[in-house]
Chains A and B, each alone.
Chain A
Amino acid sequence: MKNNWATAAFVILLAVVPTVAFSGYHLFQLTMVVVYAVAILGMAILVGFNGQISLGSGAFYAIGAYTTAILMTTFDVPYWATLPVAGIVCAGFGFLIGLPALRLAGHHLALTTFALAVAVPQVLKYKLFEDWTGGVQGLVIDKPDPPFGLPLTSDQWLYLFSLGVAVLMYVLAWNLVRGRIGRAMRAIRDHATAAEAMGINLAMVKTRTFAVSAMYTGIAGSIGAIVVAFVAPDSFSIFLSITLFVGLCAGGAASIPGTIVGAIFIEFVPNFAEQVSKAAPGAIYGVILIAMLFLMPMGAGGFLARLWRQSFGSRGRSAGDARPAALGHDTSVPVDLTGSLARADRMPVGRGEGVKP
């Protein structure tokens, strides 16, 4: 109970303080943090909790963004109504991608989704679709005004709107991961063969996870498009996917609170990096990423999650946190990066040789 009150208070704080304290660019940055958080949450569901390594989240982000843009510019659909549509469209694409992904794992899946992400800008620029997508120039979107004549600026309203959607998405994700399907997802991640033997329908869970993940990232893309008020193919290059991936790793892959840390990381660190060296923000990005993987296998998010639990106590194990799980411990808790992802993907060396224990 204490947990819920604390969380609610925290959310209210999140809503009020920035709206009052910041404006203009800073509020925009915070809004983008919210957007990225939802996108990374989508990735966490697929990669962290279900073990399907996808480097193509940028593709779904782009699809969501363009769906919103096209609906708003060509069909005059109100901005808030585009979100569910984008969500459904992306879920559909996610499911479609999830089907061939059933036969792939590990590096091969990463590679295929990597290729998908690289191909997206090309498809968006394709002449055949230019009437819809605006080609290389992209599309400009009108920034929405606050509804009901509320005394807020556009930026303030967008921040609150994004926050509201995000809170809803987070609650849904939390319930999903803690429930039966969440356990099935994690079982598949930890040991697919055993999960199947226990009666879990691999194909169904995996494709649907892909769909849900795509939906999350797509909705994030939608909001992102509205906030930035502009979509263009080159904004959705492979570097977007890589950035989101970095955010995921920074947060600890299988940690819901960690996604927020990851989002903060990818929104602010490049700015910080640019101050250190104007021409090499990517390098510092990469260095920090690698340093994190070496030094903090649980990601900063996992580390903070432990802190949270220690401060507020725990009602048993909480599904949303990443903790180190030694072999033999309860693996229904999502294990950290140094856990069962290794075992599931590692094939025994030596074919046809009777290697005895």
Chain B
Amino acid sequence: MTLSLQIFQFILSGLTTGSTYALIAIGFSLIHNATGIVNFAQGEFVMLGGMFMITFYTFLELPMLPAFFLTIFSVAVVGLLLEQGPIRQAKSKEILILVMITVGASISIKGLSMILWGKNPMTLPSFSGEAPLVFLGAAVMPQSIWIFGITVGVVAALNYFFKGTMTGKAMRAVAASRRSAVLTGIPVDRMILLSFTLSGALGAVAGIILTPITTTSYDVGVMLGLKGFSAAILGGYGSMPGAVAGGLLLGVLESLAAGLISSEYKDALAFLILLTALFFKPSGILGSGRLRRV
């Protein structure tokens, strides 16, 4: 294989994982925009997506489509419970406290998953076969096309939701200014609840589509969550197009670095990118640039 073809191959596989990072990054942005907090449990939503899908599809032998939607529903409920329980009941509404509550939630979900599903890695079959397709000389797994297609579909649907529906517009109003949103009669609490539920659902989608190519286990959440967060920072925290661009860029950079430099330090690279982004352009590539320095 020539070097240019190799690079093309790495870019394609980078776009695949990058798509899931984008979904996770959007989940971070949704909750950040509604509440101003960083939801550390976002990665656990992804892990739960894979685990629930395995439970419904492999163990309970439901057909794929019902299992898919049941999984999304279940993880959305986990998101809802996280908001209704610890976040809503918290005595202190200080951002720092709320962020640490999500850290606690993340650890608890991880600990519980270890007890429920054990420590062994598990996987799902690909949605449609394992035979690679050849695209401009590079091999593409059918699952990669599913991942890319579903991500594009989800992003398009979210775009419609935020621009075309009343609820979506209300959520954007809350993000722009919570106080003004209250004054115009938007039920802010319900929008916050919705943002957690939607983030759970997005995490679930990412987990379901990613599991066939990467396998899953109880402890993958932290890493995936951090990758998604890095992507969100890279693209501009809180911005939806930024999250997508950041996710894809991070996926491609990571894949190139793993292929051309060293695969052992692949995970370390994502955080090196995060630290570099924080250092040079903390508002991200598509960020508003309004980030305040104190």
Question: A and B: real partners?
Answer: no
Q: Contact residues of B with A, CB < 8 Å?
A: none
Q: Contact residues of A with B, CB < 8 Å?
A: none
